[in-house]
Chains A and B, each alone.
Chain A
Amino acid sequence: MDTKDILTIMLRSGSGKAGVALLLGIVIISVTVVFLFPMDFGSKRWNNPAAWADNPKSVPPFWVGLFMGNNSIAHKVFEVSPQETQANLVQNYSFHYEYNSGKSPTFTTLSFTDVTFHNRPPLLELNVVRPDGREIVLYQQVLRGARPGESSPYKRFEETPLRVFLTSETETLISLVSFLEAEFDVKTNPEALSGLVEQVVFGQPSHQGNLEFVPLNGQYDFQILSYMNHPSDSVGSLKLVLGGNSFGFMGTDSAGRDLALGLLFGFPIALIIGLTTSVFATVIGSTLGIISGFKGNKTDIIIQRFSDIWSNVPLLPILIFLIFILGQKLWIVVIIMILFGWPGLTIVVRSMVLQIRTGQLVESTKALGASNSRIMFRHILFQIAPFVLAQMIFFTPAAILAEAGLSFLGLGDPSIPTWGQILESGFRTGAVYLGYWWWIMPPGVLIVITAMAFVLIALALEPAINPKLRVEK
């Protein structure tokens, strides 16, 4: 049987077609991800809380928002790049926000980067004009001046931006207290308004004088002003975030991480784990099997005894044990899985080789004077190739599942996010109990689909390997 026959038999069955289609999809996504994602995505992005600070935490995907109607509030980010300082020494940015929802934004943040000043620091201000024409100053702050020993020009927030969390900013609360008193005759204090910032800014009191608010829909004009003291003073990029209650294609976790990115990154990782493990385990397993079956005698007994014991070592406990001792590194996980993955194949390949060895082909080749290793690897390998291939495909999901299980126990490689790790953080932080299905379901579904792709292909290959089953279909 040659490769073409195998392919024909495989593609004849529905499961073969489904498996190949799934695998093709996974490979395409993986290749795309490898090209688009930075190599250090895990450490620099995924596990860097600052990278996700402006995202809403633990919210479902945006398309869930489409079904929430008036209760949905979209996540909004306004970002501008630096501008020339005007002649009057003021930098002025404005954003228009069309607000039409029954919910107010979940949080508000304002960030500045790259502030440069030459003598006195600039004054930063954020104000908003509401649809009802009322104006609120949400934030007003003079940056800290020169530090002792520092010389002009002074540079601030080059690496990490100044991030103001307006939702709990005291300045803002105080400003809102005076706003409410002046405009709605509501007397209150900053403590009472804590947690109500967005409701106040984007609403009005439902009754005169109380602290319940109804949303005020319409256009909000935000304005950010930087008052400079020197013509070459400048403020870099600015970012205003109005938190939503849904985000991205797959939602976010409790750290605000965009789950879609983590899930995408999981594709190539799963493939690499599965394929590396299965290829090496298969090569080792079948080589030892051929040697064992072909050499016979002591070599055979030693290899067989060893594989027999080795094949019964349960993979997960040994993985946990060794990873705990040797450290949480993905390559160590893969090596351990290779080391413990080959023996089953060795046993089967040996028995196949024993059958073939008595066959005429090898006998006649021997008579023609071919060397031992030549016989082994040319003829025997050629005959067991379809079986070995199927075993390799069948072993791939086992490796993917084992790594997922290990990660789920919190023993994954922290620098490389995998589906198992996403599940682990969800389970550990109680996402199951809070009903955060978008955090728990997709990684599991992806693990199952990826494993399924390989299992389906292996299933379709079965008739190619076991002709007994071919007649039956």
Chain B
Amino acid sequence: MSKVAIHISEPLLEVRDLKVNYKTPDGVLTAVDAVSLSVAPGESLGIVGESGAGKSSMALALMRVLPNNATMEATAMELESLDILKTPENTFRRTVRWQKISMVFQAALESLNPVIKIGDQVTEPLIVHQGTPKNMAKAEVLRLFELVSLPAETFNRYPHELSGGLKQRVLIAMSLVLRPRLLILDEPTSALDVTIQAQIMDQLKDLKKHLNLSIIFVTHDIALASDICDQLAVMYAGRIVETGPTTSILNSPQHPYTQMLLASMPLIKENIEPQFIPGDPPSFLHPPKGCRFHPRCPYVFEKCTSDEPSLINIPKHGQVKCWLFETKQ
């Protein structure tokens, strides 16, 4: 399987054929299926899809913090020539987690320990990983708080005393304390109201510019992703169905799912009614045969129901996983 996009520089993160399986009493379900992607230094990749498309599982897999009943495999998974899959757990914990990859989690409300003060939770990585003395760690964290517009007194607060927006900022500040190379943002704003969402997105864009971060932005909101990302990958039912530069995907979506996803977005400027995608996302336990999107696809033909398409290169665009493009090639 070929790479997601062609890069000039050496990629920071390179993932090939990642698979995440969950063992459940009803059987094994594959939440992430043969996903390949790569992120260059300073580049940002958006992963877009409906909720339940396997995006969060993929993010957790990159940090190797999947739940106990989940297993992962891949043909390659490298971060700056370090093998994510084969590094021993202890080394991985000490050298990669939060140091090289950190993450802002989707559930801001549940991401913080309710009985430990904010300050202690945010300084913790500095103290544990770098042995920074407490007072210096505090100074560093307060500087970061300023960067994400958090009042300094937040340091001595408990999570339940903060609003959702403040908690989300705490999480962003916390994700930056060790100055990681790669930041994974998993729906960082979905629990917030629109004005705060805009503020946080602005801050993220600033940070990206200032810190030269590589970002993986996981979201169900393609507009939000296009706001910050250079590249986009559209996921459906655990698989990537279309990738390419943000502009080409927004302007000329190829995969029927991407087209429908874009059509479903309410646009204020243009006076077009948003279109809903008919049907439900497929069950991971009993996925449809052939192309997983075929039960909801308006262009479905015989081949779609029996055989699974592979990613097909579209020149000057990216890749699309759809039988419609087989002939065009």
Do chains A and B directly touch (beta carbons under 8 Å) in the complex? Answer: yes
Q: Which residues of B23-44 have CB atoms within 8 Å of chain A's CB atoms?
A: 24-25
9 residue pairs from A and B, CB less than 8 Å apart: A12-B25, A463-B25, A470-B25, A471-B24, A471-B25, A471-B69, A472-B68, A472-B69, A473-B25
A12 to B24 CA separation, bound complex (whole angstroms):
14
Q: What sequence of 0s and 1s flags, for each residue 4-25 of chain B, a beta carbon within 8 Å of any chain A beta carbon?
A: 0000000000000000000011
- B68: shortest Cβ distance to chain A, in Å? 8
Interface of A with B (CB < 8 Å)?
A: 12, 463, 470-473
A298 to B25, CA, bound (A): 44
Shortest B69–chain A CB gap in Å is: 6
Q: Which residues of B contact A12 (CB under 8 A)?
A: 25
Q: Which residues of B does A touch, CB under 8 Å?
A: 24-25, 68-69
Give chain B nearest CB distance to A461 CB in angstroms.
15
A470 to B69, CA, bound (A): 12
Tell me the bound Cα distance from A470 to B26 in angstroms.
Answer: 10
CB distance from B55 to the nearest CB of A (A): 19
The chain B residue sitting closest to A12, CB to CB, is B25
Contact partners of A472 in chain B: CB under 8 A: 68-69
The docked-state distance in angstroms from the alpha carbon of A471 to that of B68 is 10
**How far apart are A232's CB and chain B's nearest CB, in angstroms?**
81
Most buried by A among B24, B25, B68, B69: B25
Please give the distance in Å from A464's CB to the nearest CB on chain B. 11
A66 to chain B, nearest CB (A): 47
Q: How far is it, in angstroms, between the C-alpha of A454 and the C-alpha of B25 when the chains are bound?
A: 24
Q: Smallest CB-CB separation from B68: which chain A residue? A: A472
Query: How many angstroms between the C-alpha atoms of A12 and B25 in the bound complex?
Result: 10
Contacts of A473 in B (CB 8 A): 25
List, in ascending order, chain A residues with CB within 8 A of B25's CB.
12, 463, 470-471, 473
Residue of B nearest to A472 (CB): B69
Residues of A within 8 A of B24 (CB): 471
> Residues of B contacting A463 with CB < 8 Å?
25
A471 to B29, CA, bound (A): 12
Find chain A residues with CB under 8 A from B68 CB. 472
Nearest Cβ distance between residue A473 and chain B, in whole angstroms? 6
Q: Closest B-chain residue to A473, C-beta based?
A: B25
Closest A-B pairs by Cβ, 8 of them: A473-B25, A471-B24, A470-B25, A471-B69, A472-B69, A471-B25, A12-B25, A472-B68
- Give the distance in Å from the alpha carbon of A12 to the alpha carbon of B26 in the complex: 11
A463 and B24 CA atoms in complex are apart in Å by 13
Closest to B22 in A: A471
Q: How far is the CA of A471 from the CA of B24 in the complex (A)?
A: 6
Query: In the assembly, what is the distance between CA of A473 and CA of B24, in Å?
Result: 8
Q: How far is the CA of A471 from the CA of B25 in the complex (A)?
A: 7
> With contacts A470-B25, A472-B69, A473-B25 known, what are 6 further pairs, Cβ within 8 A?
A12-B25, A463-B25, A471-B24, A471-B25, A471-B69, A472-B68
Distance A473 CA – B68 CA, assembled complex (angstroms): 11
| Distance between Cα atoms of A316 and B24 in the complex (Å) | 43
Closest Cβ neighbor of B25 among chain A residues: A473
CB distance from B67 to the nearest CB of A (A): 8
* Alpha-carbon distance A117/B24, docked complex (angstroms): 85
Contacts of A470 in B (CB 8 A): 25
Would you give the shortest CB distance from A8 to chain B, in whole angstroms?
11
- Which chain A residues lie closer than 8 Å to B69 at the CB level? 471-472
CB distance from B110 to the nearest CB of A (A): 14
Question: Cβ of A471: which chain B residues have Cβ within 8 Å of it?
Answer: 24-25, 69
In the bound complex, CA of A353 to CA of B254 (Å)? 49
Complex Cα distance, B178 from A95, in Å, reads 101
Q: A472 to B25, alpha carbons, bound, how many Å?
A: 8
Chain B residue at minimum C-beta to C-beta distance from A463? B25
Query: What residue in chain B is nearest A13 (Cβ atoms)?
Result: B25
Minimum C-beta distance from A467 to chain B (A): 11
A51–B115 alpha-carbon span in the complex (Å): 69
Q: How far is the CB of B172 from chain A (nearest CB, A)?
A: 29
- Chain B residue at minimum C-beta to C-beta distance from A9: B25
Q: Measured between alpha carbons, how far is A271 from B68 in the docked complex, in Å?
A: 41
B269 CB → nearest A CB, Å: 34
Chain A residue with the shortest CB-CB distance to B24: A471
A338 to B298, CA, bound (A): 63
Q: Give the docked Cα–Cα distance between A276 and B300 (Å).
A: 62
Task: Give the distance to chain A from B286, nearest Cβ to Cβ, in Å.
Answer: 18
* CB of B283, distance to nearest CB on chain A (Å): 16
> Considering the chains assembled together, what is the distance between the CA atoms of A350 and B25 in angstroms?
31
Q: How far is the CB of A191 from chain B (nearest CB, A)?
A: 78
Closest chain A CB from B24 CB (angstroms): 6
Min Cβ gap A320→B in Å is: 42
User: When chains A and B are docked, how far (Å) is the Cα of A472 from the Cα of B23?
Assistant: 9
Whole-angstrom distance between the Cβ of B20 and the nearest chain A Cβ: 15
Most chain B CB inside 10 Å of its own CB: which residue of A463, A470, A471, A473: A471
Min CB gap B308→A, angstroms: 28
CA distance A470 to B68 in the complex (A): 13
Nearest Cβ in chain A — how far from B292, in angstroms?
23
- Bound together, the chains give a CA A470 to CA B25 distance in angstroms of 7
Q: Which residue of A lies closest to B67 (CB)?
A: A471
In the bound assembly, the distance between CA atoms of A27 and B295 in angstroms comes to 51
